[in-house]
A and B are shown apart, each in its own frame.
Chain A
């Protein structure tokens, strides 16, 4: 069980949306974690690299501010073994690269732009994730 947190989740979600709007307003970019990370690892040019590096610095340092404000790290409880984390991470990395995006790029920015590609991608991964969780928890895990 995890506690239902509608207000914290809504607030956090609105901040994610706000960051997406601000990145478009100031830098003209989609806030997609996959694209930002991939472009950081394999940049086209130094100017294309630097904004990603600064943005990632802000993202990665954010837990320190969370810690300072709340007195603790964000809660992270992984429901699976370390081996399954590796399997999941590999599949996620392959999937988001082939599918050109993840929850932030397709699910938030793309859906907000009413991109048909992103709406199809988001519907696909939401359904497949639910099926995967069902199989993991109630077919294999039961």
Chain B
């Protein structure tokens, strides 16, 4: 039962990405191209997702615990530091260059598209490089517990 439900949740996310247009880098880049070929679609993706998640979380957090697991595993850090802002800024540079973000590229791995696979391989390499730099303490540790996002 746990396996079936968890699988279906992944499926809903992937179909949402595919239907929304998030997996199409041209559409993503056009959303940010206010000075050129602007396509406002992604505002509807983000808006729809945040509204549903915002209302849904309110209902879910009335429960004492999740259905299958003992605890809600929610990030507790409240620290806003250079690491959060700098990392997010770097992500924005990469997103602006390639038009793919991690959540959008995962579902379309299943299409076998060559550009998707190239971006994904580089994404994994980037994650591993950053984790290595963090382990070497070349990037200052964050001020609180990790956000799991």
Contacts and interface: CB of A to CB of B under 8 A. Distances in A.
Contacts of B122: 85-90, 92-93
B136 interface: no
Contact of A87 (B69, B85, B97): B97
Nearest to B129: A94
B75 to A, nearest CB: 7
Interface of A: 1-6, 8-35, 37-39, 41-42, 51, 54-66, 73-80, 82, 84-118, 120-122, 124-138
A77 B139 CA distance: 35
Interface of B: 2-3, 5-27, 29-30, 32-37, 39-42, 44-54, 56-57, 59-60, 63, 65-75, 77-80, 83-104, 106-111, 113, 115-116, 118-131, 133-134, 139, 142, 146-149
A25 B95 contact: no
A33 B18 contact: no
B6 A51 contact: yes
Contacts of A11: 16, 19-20, 48
Contacts, number: 525
B18 A133 contact: no
Closest 5 CB pairs of A and B: A93-B126, A105-B149, A58-B10, A12-B20, A99-B87
13 contacts: A11-B20, A13-B48, A41-B128, A54-B10, A58-B12, A74-B18, A78-B98, A91-B93, A92-B101, A93-B124, A94-B129, A95-B93, A99-B86
Nearest to A56: B10
Nearest to A8: B19
